[in-house]
Structure 1
Amino acid sequence: MKLIKKNTERGEEKKKRPKKLKRIKNANPSVVLDRHGNIIRRVDGTEHGDEKRGGQFLAALFEKLIPPGTKAGNKKQKTEMRKKPKRKAESEYNEAVPYDFPGDIIRSIKNTAGDFAGIIGGKSPSAGKAGEEKRGGIRDAAPIRKLSAIRRKFMSLSKAMRRIVIALSALFVALVSVCALNIWASGFRETWKAREASDAEKAALESILDEAFADERSEKLRPLPYRTTPAKLDVRAGAAVLVDTANGCVLYEKNADRLIPPASLTKLFVMYIVFKEVEAGKITMDDIVPLPELSWAVNLPRDASLMHLGQGQTVTLRELMAGLAVASGNDAARAVAYYISGTQEDFVARMNAECRALGLKKTYFVEPSGYDENNITTARELAEFARIYVTHFPQSIEEFHSLKSLDYPLQKNLPSWQKNYGDTLAIHHSNTNPLLGKLDGVDGLKTGFIYESGYNLALTASRNGQRFLSITLQGQGKGTKQGNEGRIHDGTELMEWAFSTFADYEPGKDTSLVFPVPSLASKGNDGKFVNLVPAWKNKITVPHLFGSTAKDSADAVKVVVDVPPYLYGGVKLGAQYGSVKYKLGEITLETVPLVADRSLESAGIAGRFFGTLAKGSLEKNR
């Protein structure tokens, strides 16, 4: 197309070349134009279909861009629009935008954080408004404008100032991170929040410890856990053992493994089985026990010890137990054997089975009364059994072994054809233990004698809550009088030495037996803490080294606990992670391992990373 401009002054026409249409900047952000000014598409994604192309659109567009006026005015405005804005000086920026360093940056970040979260989440950045607000078909760009303002403020600073801002910002982030880490790690120091192990965990732990620490946790006798010099005591019996019943530690021994008939000490095994049957609910102490003919006193050897059972008598199991403990009646042993097992042979088999179950390998019986010399045992195994007996059934001492006498048969025990005699037929039986009521604290247990065994004695005494037990076999003497003198001498020698030389210390008296420890990098909500508990809780036999009495030494025991500040990367049930030492001066009396009361799996990579970060905080505040 040709454009011809008329010159009114000269009256001539001037030819002009066709002028190229210049590309017009799009002032409407809601549409996209091509090079000819045609609408291609809208920002909201819809295609243009109805708008007219070409000059009509350009005219409308110019009307919006250039206010109505003269051509000159339109041209001037058009020219000014094409001019690039002049860059402002740095001072002008500072004057136009008051800058509060560095609070303005912090406040701007704080104000725009929520808007960024809204944009990322697809929600409106304006707080408190439901839904989304669109301006010109696009989302609200306020957060972006705020960031742009922050950037302009930052870039307006000098280079040195920008470095200071970066350094201070990094320092601020580091301080916030350190504070957050310390707050998070402080939760691992709240050990009082540790959960107690469940019943299932406790049962599993007990099973593991019984296997791992069998000697310390079993009921077998064991030596003292610290070095001692063997005592030189004047014990006349052929074999002897002295033990602390609280823990089974052997304090003194002499020919402890020599095979010797137990004689009437066999009856302790009979009483043990009776208590087990009562505990199982199979029988009661008030049961009336029928008396078989073999249990009548007239059918036993004349030199046997008897409680004088007879035909037609009515007797309870409790009375038979008293006859075993006080009168050492062989007839009572036979009556009990028949009542529990039906025959004497079956009862003896039961006695031997109990010995095997208790780990007594050298003890064997052929009859229940102890009259036969083929019954066999050792002082060590007899002491081990006697400790188990009084520990499991402590009522046996008060109900039977501490009885000083027994009168039997009373009128209530006699058959109808003998009741006219009343209690005149009762025989007074004194307890055969010569130290009962004579030596301080003695309250049991039993004597025994046959020619093949000598004068035997199972003795126990308790003072101030502490109990010792001794076994002496093959006591010498010509006759009962000399035999009892030997029993009294040996029993007194052993017990007085024990009470003056040793005292018991009870763990847990001065410190807790449960030690919670943080567990880092472990899985689960339960993985924050684990409890360390002692592998065994036996009382400790303390030698008399300080003070005027053995108890003074026990009171001087110090507890040294070695517990790690934390456990890392999972925990294994029953594994050792620490120890407790009980010390008397510089002497370590016993060292007890501390084991975990639960299992925890190791955490993943993220858990191990944060666990590593928490290590430093826990070690610093240890």
Structure 2
Amino acid sequence: MNFKKRLRHLAAFGLIFTLALAVSFQAPFAKNAEAANTLGLKAKSAILVDFNSGKVLYEKNADQVYPPASMTKMMTEYLVMQALNQKRLTWNTKVSISDYAYTISQNRSFSNVPLRKDYQYTVRDLYEAMAIYSANGATIALAEKVGGTEKHFVDMMNQTAKKLGMTTAHYINSSGLDNVDLGKYAPYGSKNDSNELAARDLAKLAYHVIKDYPEALQISKIPLKNFTAGVKTPIQMVNWDYMLPGFGADMAKFTYPGVDGLKTGHTDLAGYCFTGTVNRDGHRLVSVVMGTTSDSQRFEQTRALFDFGYQTYSLKTIAKKGQKLKDQKTVAVHNGKQSSVGLAFGQPVKTTVTNGEKVHATYKVVLDHSKLNKDGSIEAPVKKGEKIGYAVLKTSNGAYGSLYPNIDKVPVVAADQVDKNNWFVRMFQAIGGLFSGLFHWIAGLF
């Protein structure tokens, strides 16, 4: 096929083509997720998700709405991290304490560090108290700092939940306490109301906390830390996540190697809850259990989920970063020293496979039209590694990553560098193109 015909061919097919990988796979996830119910998990609802692929490995009442208790604070953490990332806050930004935050912080029957109204705390002071010790007063102070008022911050929480695809989320406060505990300070709802979320949506939120702001894990994984701001005697903050490595022998029964987050929760209405995450050699799992009956049971059920995940599934690398797509069509290059450029993966391609199973997968590659000329070519120079589009992994059960939006999209980049022809060569190419067009016009007259 000559150069011009190849261009017409690319344009005619809309620059979308499917590439079969030389890996043979089946995708038995739905079957195994159903079979996983034999775990007999002791929780009102639960879900286990593979972080890398977005596949649901286990679920139980995962769309049933329940109070999330202090797992609510994951959204507060997300919005604080967002404000830090957008430079609206720094870790050293000073935060004043309102009557509301002060009053709640003095109630030591809740998780709290006592705050002072005559002292300004840093964002880091309060964030660590929230993420490690689940301190409610500190959470409210951060919400007021980011949102101006907690009521406005709650609006931000619900707006962000919609953007993240959390269809069941209904936030009425930033801390996760029930309104009956907040009393006159409750920003929304009636006396008996609470935040409401389903386990599936909590898994989506956990994914975004980890993916968008991985530094959050550097704090959530701290087992013990002293709170020293504004107090004469340091207050030891013991992380409520007892599965973290680093606790003493008395907590060893809960420890699970690789756990580095994310958030516990407990109220009388919610029971004992836990959104956990564990990472072993790059294979990360995310779990949610809601409505267990004791502190220890939430960790026992999480352990059962993690064990099931690692014993049943493996993380497989299908393609390495920079690996050329097998049997790919090249993209034409205009004004280049080479007439075309090959395609490669811009990042490693990994997926979750049931142990012992083979999977058949294909890629649909979609080129970025903003990068292309009208004739479907890309203008030289082309840098090696320059993003040209993306590939979507498909299996017989559909695209991987259905739980998390766009997780199945893998960047596709130029496999090689193509330099631009010098002006002299381009001039003769233009002249040749002119004569070629004239010849075809004349030929069309006869």
> 1:406 corresponds to which residue?
225
After superposition, residues 81-480 of structure 1 pair within 5 angstroms as: 228-229=31-32, 230=34, 231=36, 232-297=38-103, 301=107, 303-372=109-178, 373-398=193-218, 400-408=219-227, 410=228, 413-414=230-231, 422-423=232-233, 426-437=234-245, 438-476=255-293
1:405, distance to aligned residue in structure 2 (A): 1.9
Mapped partners of 2:87, 2:70: distance in 1: 27
Mapped partners of 1:577, 1:433: distance in 2: 38
**Aligned partners of 1:307 and 1:328 also within 8 Å:** no
Per-residue CA distance 1:485-508 (angstroms, 9 max, x = gap): 211210110001111221212332
* Counterparts in 2 of 1:261 and 1:504: CA distance versus 1, 3 Å: same
1:434, distance to aligned residue in structure 2 (A): 2.3
* Counterparts in 2 of 1:331 and 1:504: CA distance versus 1, 3 Å: same
**Aligned partners of 1:240 and 1:255 also within 8 Å:** yes
After superposition, residues 585-596 of structure 1 pair within 5 angstroms as: none
Q: Which amino acid aligns with 1:393?
A: Y
1:322, distance to aligned residue in structure 2 (A): 1.0
> 2:185 corresponds to which residue?
none
Mapped partners of 1:604, 1:357: distance in 2: 51
**Aligned partners of 2:171 and 2:195 also within 8 Å:** yes
TM-score under structure 1 normalisation?
0.49
Mapped partners of 2:321, 2:104: distance in 1: 60
1:533, distance to aligned residue in structure 2 (A): 5.8
**Aligned partners of 1:297 and 1:306 also within 8 Å:** no
Mapped partners of 1:594, 1:269: distance in 2: 27
Mapped partners of 2:290, 2:70: distance in 1: 12
Q: 1:517 aligned to 329, 345, 356, which one?
A: 329
Mapped partners of 2:114, 2:292: distance in 1: 27
1:283, distance to aligned residue in structure 2 (A): 0.8
**Aligned partners of 2:95 and 2:145 also within 8 Å:** yes
* Counterparts in 2 of 1:262 and 1:572: CA distance versus 1, 3 Å: farther
* Counterparts in 2 of 1:357 and 1:464: CA distance versus 1, 3 Å: same
Mapped partners of 1:451, 1:324: distance in 2: 20
Mapped partners of 2:410, 2:165: distance in 1: 28
Q: SS in structure 1 opposite 2:94?
A: coil
**Aligned partners of 2:83 and 2:89 also within 8 Å:** yes
1:509, distance to aligned residue in structure 2 (A): 2.8
* Counterparts in 2 of 1:336 and 1:233: CA distance versus 1, 3 Å: same
**Aligned partners of 2:274 and 2:298 also within 8 Å:** yes
**Aligned partners of 1:531 and 1:596 also within 8 Å:** no
1:580, distance to aligned residue in structure 2 (A): 7.8
Mapped partners of 1:581, 1:267: distance in 2: 35
Structure 2 gap segments, 5+ residues each: 5-13, 19-26, 179-192, 246-254, 366-373, 379-386, 402-407, 415-432, 441-446
Q: SS in structure 2 opposite 1:507?
A: strand
After superposition, residues 426-575 of structure 1 pair within 5 angstroms as: 426-437=234-245, 438-476=255-293, 483-509=294-320, 512-514=323-325, 517=329, 524-525=334-335, 528-529=339-340, 531-532=342-343, 539-545=350-356, 571=376
Q: Which amino acid aligns with 2:138?
A: A
Mapped partners of 1:578, 1:316: distance in 2: 43
* Counterparts in 2 of 1:449 and 1:559: CA distance versus 1, 3 Å: closer
* Counterparts in 2 of 1:486 and 1:284: CA distance versus 1, 3 Å: same
Pick the structure with more helix per residue.
1
1:451, distance to aligned residue in structure 2 (A): 1.6
**Aligned partners of 2:329 and 2:342 also within 8 Å:** yes
Q: Which amino acid aligns with 1:455?
A: Y
* Counterparts in 2 of 1:367 and 1:580: CA distance versus 1, 3 Å: closer
Per-residue CA distance 1:360-414 (angstroms, 9 max, x = gap): 121011111100242111000111111111111111111x111112323x2x524
Q: Which amino acid aligns with 2:243?
A: L
1:292, distance to aligned residue in structure 2 (A): 1.5
1:588, distance to aligned residue in structure 2 (A): 11
* Counterparts in 2 of 1:451 and 1:605: CA distance versus 1, 3 Å: farther
Which stretches of structure 1, 4 residues or longer, exceed 6 Å deviation after superposition?
534-537, 557-563, 572-583, 587-598, 603-607
Q: SS in structure 2 opposite 1:242?
A: strand
Q: Which amino acid aligns with 1:413?
A: G
Per-residue CA distance 1:438-492 (angstroms, 9 max, x = gap): 112111111111122111101111111211010001112xxxxxx1221121011
Mapped partners of 2:283, 2:152: distance in 1: 38
Which structure has the higher relative contact order (CA within 8 Å, separation 6+)? 2
1:288, distance to aligned residue in structure 2 (A): 2.1
TM-score under structure 2 normalisation?
0.67
Q: SS in structure 1 opposite 2:197?
A: coil
> 1:22 corresponds to which residue?
none
Q: Which amino acid aligns with 2:298?
A: R
Per-residue CA distance 1:558-583 (angstroms, 9 max, x = gap): 988999xxxxx965999999998899
1:530, distance to aligned residue in structure 2 (A): 5.2
Mapped partners of 1:249, 1:256: distance in 2: 14
* Counterparts in 2 of 1:559 and 1:366: CA distance versus 1, 3 Å: closer
**Aligned partners of 1:324 and 1:332 also within 8 Å:** yes
Mapped partners of 2:104, 2:391: distance in 1: 65
Q: Which amino acid aligns with 1:346?
A: H
1:242, distance to aligned residue in structure 2 (A): 0.4
**Aligned partners of 1:503 and 1:542 also within 8 Å:** yes
**Aligned partners of 2:48 and 2:56 also within 8 Å:** yes
**Aligned partners of 1:454 and 1:474 also within 8 Å:** yes
Q: Which amino acid aligns with 1:457?
A: F
Q: SS in structure 2 opposite 1:517?
A: coil
Mapped partners of 1:254, 1:407: distance in 2: 38
**Aligned partners of 2:29 and 2:354 also within 8 Å:** no
1:343, distance to aligned residue in structure 2 (A): 1.2
* Counterparts in 2 of 1:532 and 1:307: CA distance versus 1, 3 Å: same
Mapped partners of 2:131, 2:409: distance in 1: 41
1:299, distance to aligned residue in structure 2 (A): 6.3
* Counterparts in 2 of 1:510 and 1:589: CA distance versus 1, 3 Å: farther
**Aligned partners of 1:264 and 1:448 also within 8 Å:** yes
1:270, distance to aligned residue in structure 2 (A): 0.7
Pick the structure with more strand per residue.
2
Structure 1 gap segments, 5+ residues each: 1-183, 189-204, 214-223, 415-421, 477-482, 547-552, 564-568, 611-622
